[in-house]
Structure 1
Amino acid sequence: MTSDERGTPDSGQVAGKDDLQRAVEERVAAAEAAAGTEPVINAAPAKKATRRTTTKKAAPAKKAPAKRAPAKRAATKATQATPEPGDDDSPVTANPVVAPAPIAEPGNPAGAPAPQPEAPSADPAEPSTPQAPGEGESRDTATTAVGPAGERPTPTDASAVDVASPSSPEGGRGPATTTRAVTDEELRAIVEGWSHDPHGILGAHENGPEWVVRTLRPDAVSVAVVDEDGSRYDARPLHGGGIQEATLPRQPGDYRIEAVYPDGQGGTTTYTVDDPYRWLPTLGPIDEHLIREGRHERLWEVLGAHVRRYDSPRGAVEGVSFAVWAPNARGVKVTGDFDYWEARAYPMRSLGSSGVWEIFIPGVQVGSRYRFHVLGADGAWREKSDPMAFATEVPPLNASVVTRSTYEWNDDAWLTQRAETSAHERPMSVYEVHAGSWRQGLSYRELADELIDYVVSAGFTHIEFMPLAEHPFGGSWGYQVTSYFAPTSRYGSPDDLRYLIDRAHQAGIGVIVDWVPAHFPKDEWALARFDGTALYEHGDPRRGEQLDWGTLVFDFGRSEVRNFLVANALYWCKEFHIDGLRVDAVASMLYLDYSRTEWLPNEYGGRENLEAVAFLQEMNATVYREVPGIMTIAEESTAWPGVTRPTHLGGLGFGFKWNMGWMHDSLGYVEREPVYRSFHHGQLTFSMMYAYSENYVLPVSHDEVVYGKGSMLRKMPGDRWQQLANLRAYLAYMWAHPGKQLLFMGSEFAQDSEWAESRSLDWWHLDDPAHRGILQLVSDLNSRYKELDALWSLDVEPAGFQWIDANDATGNVLSFLRYGKPAAEDSPAMEGAPATDGEDPPLGSALACVVNFSGSPHHGYRIGLPRPGHWREVLNTDAESYGGSGVGNLGGIDAEEQPWHGQPYSATVAAPPLGTVWFLHE
């Protein structure tokens, strides 16, 4: 990318935020100097935000002079502060813009007014104003036709006053005011919602020696402006759509709007409210620059709905700022509980080429529901949920909900410990969970009490939740996301989820969340054609749709879309302290012809999606840089090279990849009757041919127990005893195989039926000793796994594995060794270890694994061993306590100096039927 593309200085170096801020201040100071005024820069800085501070403060009030120089500024430059969703209730101190005279745009000190943008083309066949719903129609319909906007505005005699330019130039700031007429067309644009700068007309503006305050109050019987000193000025109607204007003899102070409405019973009710059109934008110039560049890594701190509080002479002003990215929209309005869903009172302003629309509405409270009404580039109005919403209604309702986190975390020790060691060098045994069906009806907080204790008792190190972002259809299991920044409200609030994750960390359990950046559903109220164009999705259906799934595909070549997704990954890591992201359907992102008969090749004629590759590399590099100790896991089902290779070496940069090949091969083997397994022995051994080409997780996931595939127990052949024995042997083989492991809920106690999201697991199985035996085995597997570093410390190193015998197809037996990290030569673990020539350090602890997948025991079965002495039997899946037949080795075996299988020592073992045995060298 060139320096011009990044918007950097001529030197070609990337400009930092301080450099950008300094440049803005210098140019504003130069403009003020040219106008003959003293420069005022950051006269009253805003209170520093707890984590990240951008520039935000409302312009301070000041008394109007008796006479003003023509070019003199009416307001000083101020800073802006952007609170985070997780900030406390402390106020962001700022002075209100009691008379928001527009600020000159840096680089355009002359401030020549820009023309009002073209209104939508007129259509004589359409009415001139939006129509009420017809009979049988709903006000909640997602898309409605828009009325014509007419021609470009022409001067009229409506009201000749000083106003800001009605368009929003680069950076979102209006130029210096000029005395001109406010046209009927401009007023109509505000009322109908297609004005790009309603703040340039509404609010307080200088009018020669006087000032006017215009307000939009549809259906009000009367309106008055009450100034800071209590003076009251009645307003006159300026437009039939609810715009009224009051004239004041001087610049107003901290004024309020007094509006009288009919009460529906023949009387009236008076409301005194703050003016939403007297506030400067809540996004600073640096925020807008980074959004334009697609490099705002903390996007959630500036877009969406944020609760804010400002100090003013008449007391604190609390409300909510709304900001949404819709660069091709002709107009955007916000509506909700606070305006009775009428969508007439709050048109938003466009912040120039950033594509962001914004407004601060005093009085809106936490818990308020809202939507955006977007006038698309195609001339149609659409009701849209907020793409950056932090909470939503419970589906099937879909309005966004204003929320603010007050949660106080208690997991500092966990986060510190997590950052000290790579995930590759730690044990990782993952329990995959669907939050809604583990036990139906539980909330996040109830899961924190029940699920965490269960996972601890079963010995798992991590929980992996299937997608928790909001999704409208429960049958999608969460994989068709509509609100990427909102945890599903089915189980509680965002802070309730924070409590669940915090409890897990305090119990020593990590939390991984499934993340779905590959595709999203076509629901009209969500991301699809958000501003009347293919905004989030690719515009060509040959790249922009997944026909098999009925979903849309993100446009990974658009920088703002990549920014949205990268920021979302960071949001889950930072705001919810998750320990890993498992990225779904990576293969569908990497290949342009994935499940498509018609597709477009890349610029080189290939089928690789180079834009998706760049996105995945950017996401991984950013997350690993910003979040110490995090891990990303790819569900990638092909042989794409370098999935877990670092990005600086050309890889995708994931920490782990699901080993789908091992899963398909091993399950294909054990599903066969033992008598036929000898012909398919290679399905068990082939995985070691590529085991160290990537960093693998061995997944037995939800995908393997649905859609007629049967539960893990039902996959096994034979009678019930043989099915249980097969499953026990398979699980112990899986835990001993190189790689981390993942097991879907229910498989740990051998649930008999397939999983269904509509009902709970079959917990009644635990009344059966045979099923309790499987659960006890899993608990012991996890316990031994965490204790024995040979099973995990060299998971990604070939030195951690060695075959004893991979070729006993006739006996259906596998035997291999696992080694731990090298230890000091005088340690007990190294007793009997072979001497080295000084080039390579000796290997650490050693564990031998013998797997017998035949239906008969093998007594006196000799295996080669690398070390002499006693090898203790630390696990036997045929133990009676697990429901087995009790064939064992009386606690261990002794290696004798008889070479076998290429090893200097050997011993005879009893390999139980359909059983796995582990031996640890002592």
Structure 2
Amino acid sequence: MALRDTSPPASAGPRPPVAPALDPADRGRLLAGAHHDPHALLGAHPVPGGILFRALRPFARSVAVLVDGRRTPLVSEGDGLFAVVLPLAEIPAYTLLVAYEGDETEVHDPYRFLPALGELDLHLVREGRHEQLWKALGAEPMTHQGVAGTRFTVWAPNAQGVRVAADFTYWDGTAFPMRSLGSSGVWELFLPGVGEGTRYKFEITSRHGHRFLKADPMARCAEVPPDTASIVHASHYEWGDAEWMAHRGDVPVHAAPFSVYEVHLPSWRPGLTFRQLADVLPAYVHDLGFTHVEFMPVAQHPFSGSWGYQITGFYAPAARLGTPDDFKHLVDALHRAGIGVIVDWVPAHFPKDDWALARFDGDPLYEPGNAQRAEHPDWGTFEFDFGRTEVRNFLVANAVYWCEEFHIDGLRVDAVASMLYLDYSRDSGQWTPNAFGGREDLDAKAFLQEMNATVYRRNPGVVTIAEESTAWEGVTRPTESGGLGFGLKWNMGWMHDSLEYIAKEPVHRKYHHHEMTFSMVYAYSENYVLPISHDEVVHGKQALVSKMPGDWWQRRANHRAYLAFMWAHPGKQLLFMGQEFAQGAEWSEAHGPEWWLLDEGYAAEADHRGVRDLVRDLNTRYRATPALWQRDTDPGGFRWVLCDAAEDNVFAFLRYDAEGVPLLAVSNFSPVVRQDYRMAVPDDIPVWYEALNTDDMRYGGSDVRLPDGIKPENGEISLTLPPLATVWLTPTSV
């Protein structure tokens, strides 16, 4: 903090010794921002005749040193350098008096402080094992040697020099060169008086002599785009979710109810901030009965049209929506409403913006040095160098950071397949096999294993989820058994096959019957999530209800029947916003869900509310029925009743809970009522009751209902199947 000088001028006395001149080479490198140890040149140092004080203050009118209330002017050496030698035996406590065009200001000298980063931190950084890297690198407000300020640290091993440029320096870094902390590649500078809210960047001089400004890779707060500076931040949030955090891991996620509402926060209710969303989103999700929300990426990204998948600030929540503490408030509100929070995490790639991670210190650093390997062919981005320990550490610590600092309950890892394969989207000659001649990226595999093992070890109750679209073996197998260690995997095969089936006209569905049954061939090879995500309702793929054939009634009926089939199928559920009330238009990040479809007075309002009512009831019955989630990864929890009724477009299967109590799900994907439809059922259930029927009039159906209590005869039951509908039956009445 700057202090106003009130001391009297020094009385006339003997002229102090002349300061020894800087070595010309050192001087040149210092002024060029290319010196590795500015603390050896600036600050206070013993010299023959006393103590040398030297300061670098460009554009200052004068600089003086204040010792024991006595001020002594420093002599200008040109180029903003000032120096003086005082006849002292040892380095005293002192401050500097710096005058520009305005008043003189008393400040602490940054170059009198020892490094504010410990040897253990540096050792862990060098080893790539600093699991809380954000506490070692970046901008950390602190009190150091009794003085309040901010420690700036950055990893830039190829740089000749690094300086802090900030709003208070008018983005000129000349006055504040950082020191290199040896082989760690870390540069450090403690700036007294600098506090929260300061905007800053690092001014880097590359080994090639180029100079440029970079945002802090570890910044915990950033400016609102299109501005790109980092912001000094310290959290002051007080959490209120202790009970949630204490019990979220009581039941393993694969054996617990898990239905997810996927949300793009900027467009769910356009214009709302994190704090404003906290007032409405938890109540909405709680009312619909989802157990979790999944946020599309919330890390800082400059282009809103990327939906968050082009990240430039991996440690900073998106500034468009608020501060880091604002985001914590939203997570806290969801937890207090009993809702878990999953965030999309994107370690597969990063954009090429010249102020961000790309060629960070003038050379490939976060990206591979091999140009063939560095660029992602699909997205025009760079890939991370998973073989470099510091880069792996940056990403592993980032996963830990979101879980520990923001109490996140799950990480859905984007584009895992693009990381695992060296030839992903590459033609022959565009990739190089691994050491064993294969196409697997062994470094990426090791990184994912390390990330999963670290997150699970440090954060019990957290789940990691892979968006992985290939047949890679062992995605959800534990790392100690050679697997990647994810808790869950998106079932892209089920999603693709079932959507292909449901989009067919009913008369043609019999030829595609296997597309709805094939998923059970591999259903227990991994722990699966069944995703109807944002990817399926954009870019010409149509909204879910619009994929369906037929007139408006038939499309809604198909939509309802499909959702109930999905909720009954082994695996967890994920549904993207807007699909819970059957909006007909594709999602657009510009305007979000079409909430007006639910407004009173809109002609089809009841149709859309009916679908939303069904989703609420699906979640309610799902959570109350252990057969639908307790044995999702146990083949003994499932049994086909009808898997070959292709001519009828009918599917029927049983789900069992840990006590053997069943639920019978029957889907009729034909637009006809099927009278007296018979199927075999367990002979130990005396009566079956309708638990849910998507043809219920309340949902917009034709109200073909089943009678109260259906008794088996000779091991079979006879049902009247409603058209384009799914029915759930249980041994007990609802």
Bin of the TM-score, shorter chain as denominator length? over 0.9
Is 1:884 the counterpart of 2:701? The answer is yes
Q: TM-score, normalised by structure 1?
A: 0.76
Instruction: Tell me how far apart the structure 1 counterparts of residues 708 and 376 of structure 2 sit (CA, whole Å).
Output: 56
Partner residue in 2 for 1:658: 490
Partner residue in 2 for 1:778: 615
Unaligned runs of 5+ in 1: 1-156, 161-180, 264-268, 823-842, 899-904
Is 1:858 the counterpart of 2:674? The answer is yes
Aligned mate of 2:217, from 381, 384, 387 = 387
Instruction: Say which SS state the counterpart of residue 254 (structure 1) adopts.
Output: coil
Q: CA deviation at 1:376?
A: 1.2
Is 1:639 the counterpart of 2:455? The answer is no
Instruction: Say which SS state the counterpart of residue 414 (structure 1) adopts.
Output: helix
Partner residue in 2 for 1:539: 369
Q: Cα deviations across residues 190-231 of structure 1 (Å, max 9, x unaligned)?
A: 22211100001111111235111111111111111001x212
| Letter in structure 2 aligned against 1:802 | R
Q: Is the 8 A contact 2:74 2:82 kept in 1?
A: no
Distance verdict in 2 for CA 1:860–1:275, change over 3 Å: same
Is 1:457 the counterpart of 2:457? The answer is no
Is 1:200 the counterpart of 2:30? The answer is no
Q: CA deviation at 1:310?
A: 3.9
Aligned mate of 1:271, from 105, 109, 124 = 105
Question: Which is higher, the Rg of structure 1 or of structure 2?
Answer: 1
Q: Is the 8 A contact 1:238 1:245 kept in 2?
A: no
Q: Is the 8 A contact 1:282 1:302 kept in 2?
A: no
Is 1:708 the counterpart of 2:502? The answer is no
Q: Cα deviations across residues 598-627 of structure 1 (Å, max 9, x unaligned)?
A: 111111111110000000000000100010
Aligned mate of 1:298, from 132, 138, 152 = 132
| Letter in structure 2 aligned against 1:203 | G
Partner residue in 2 for 1:502: 332
Instruction: Tell me how far apart the structure 2 counterparts of residues 381 and 275 of structure 1 sit (CA, whole Å).
Output: 25
Aligned mate of 2:712, from 895, 899, 909 = 895
Q: CA deviation at 1:311?
A: 6.0
Please list, as runs of the form range in 1=range in 2, the aligned pairs for 1:191-590 lying within 5 A after superposition.
191-227=31-67, 229-263=68-102, 269-310=103-144, 312=146, 317-590=147-420
Partner residue in 2 for 1:614: 446
Instruction: Tell me how far apart the structure 2 counterparts of residues 435 and 808 of structure 1 sit (CA, whole Å).
Output: 42
Instruction: Say which SS state the counterpart of residue 520 (structure 1) adopts.
Output: coil
Partner residue in 2 for 1:35: none
Instruction: Tell me how far apart the structure 1 counterparts of residues 446 and 88 of structure 2 sit (CA, whole Å).
Output: 59
| Letter in structure 2 aligned against 1:352 | G
Q: Is the 8 A contact 2:128 2:392 kept in 1?
A: yes
Instruction: Tell me how far apart the structure 2 counterparts of residues 187 and 375 of structure 1 sit (CA, whole Å).
Output: 15
Instruction: Tell me how far apart the structure 2 counterparts of residues 222 and 248 of structure 1 sit (CA, whole Å).
Output: 21
Q: TM-score, normalised by structure 2?
A: 0.95
Instruction: Say which SS state the counterpart of residue 672 (structure 2) adopts.
Output: coil
Aligned mate of 2:688, from 860, 871, 882 = 871
Instruction: Tell me how far apart the structure 1 counterparts of residues 544 and 607 of structure 2 sit (CA, whole Å).
Output: 15
Instruction: Tell me how far apart the structure 1 counterparts of residues 726 and 78 of structure 2 sit (CA, whole Å).
Output: 83
Q: CA deviation at 1:377?
A: 2.1
Q: CA deviation at 1:242?
A: 2.6
Please list, as runs of the form range in 1=range in 2, the aligned pairs for 1:111-122 lying within 5 A after superposition.
none
Q: CA deviation at 1:541?
A: 2.2
Q: Is the 8 A contact 1:407 1:495 kept in 2?
A: yes
Q: Is the 8 A contact 2:387 2:443 kept in 1?
A: yes
Instruction: Tell me how far apart the structure 2 counterparts of residues 507 and 319 of structure 1 sit (CA, whole Å).
Output: 38
Q: Cα deviations across residues 240-289 of structure 1 (Å, max 9, x unaligned)?
A: 343433424243432110011124xxxxx211111001111111111111
Partner residue in 2 for 1:734: 566
Q: Is the 8 A contact 1:714 1:752 kept in 2?
A: yes
Instruction: Tell me how far apart the structure 2 counterparts of residues 857 and 864 of structure 1 sit (CA, whole Å).
Output: 19
Q: Is the 8 A contact 1:233 1:246 kept in 2?
A: no
Instruction: Tell me how far apart the structure 2 counterparts of residues 493 and 451 of structure 1 sit (CA, whole Å).
Output: 18
Is 1:687 the counterpart of 2:519? The answer is yes
| Letter in structure 1 aligned against 2:66 | V
Partner residue in 1 for 2:10: none
Q: Cα deviations across residues 790-842 of structure 1 (Å, max 9, x unaligned)?
A: 000000111110000100000000000000012xxxxxxxxxxxxxxxxxxxx
Partner residue in 2 for 1:806: 643
Q: Cα deviations across residues 113-141 of structure 1 (Å, max 9, x unaligned)?
A: xxxxxxxxxxxxxxxxxxxxxxxxxxxxx
Partner residue in 2 for 1:628: 460
Instruction: Say which SS state the counterpart of residue 519 (structure 1) adopts.
Output: coil
Q: Is the 8 A contact 1:237 1:245 kept in 2?
A: no
Runs of 4+ with >4 A deviation: 157-160
Q: CA deviation at 1:159?
A: 5.0
Partner residue in 2 for 1:145: none
Instruction: Say which SS state the counterpart of residue 615 (structure 1) adopts.
Output: helix
Instruction: Tell me how far apart the structure 1 counterparts of residues 353 and 82 of structure 2 sit (CA, whole Å).
Output: 35
Instruction: Say which SS state the counterpart of residue 711 (structure 2) adopts.
Output: strand
Instruction: Say which SS state the counterpart of residue 893 (structure 1) adopts.
Output: coil
Q: CA deviation at 1:379?
A: 1.8
Partner residue in 1 for 2:505: 673
Instruction: Say which SS state the counterpart of residue 726 (structure 2) adopts.
Output: strand
Q: CA deviation at 1:857?
A: 1.1
Q: Return the structure number with greater relative CO, CA threshold 8 A, min gap 6.
A: 2
Q: CA deviation at 1:410?
A: 1.1
Q: Is the 8 A contact 1:711 1:747 kept in 2?
A: yes
Instruction: Say which SS state the counterpart of residue 266 (structure 2) adopts.
Output: coil
Q: Is the 8 A contact 1:217 1:244 kept in 2?
A: no
Q: Is the 8 A contact 2:50 2:85 kept in 1?
A: no
| Letter in structure 2 aligned against 1:710 | Q
Aligned mate of 2:556, from 705, 714, 724 = 724
Instruction: Tell me how far apart the structure 2 counterparts of residues 814 and 883 of structure 1 sit (CA, whole Å).
Output: 22
Q: How big is the alpha-carbon RMSD for the aligned residues of Structure 1 and Structure 2?
A: 1.3
Is 1:915 the counterpart of 2:728? The answer is no
Q: Is the 8 A contact 1:878 1:887 kept in 2?
A: yes
Q: CA deviation at 1:539?
A: 1.2
Query: Which moves more between the two structures, 229-238 or 632-641?
Result: 229-238
Q: Is the 8 A contact 2:49 2:85 kept in 1?
A: no
Partner residue in 2 for 1:56: none
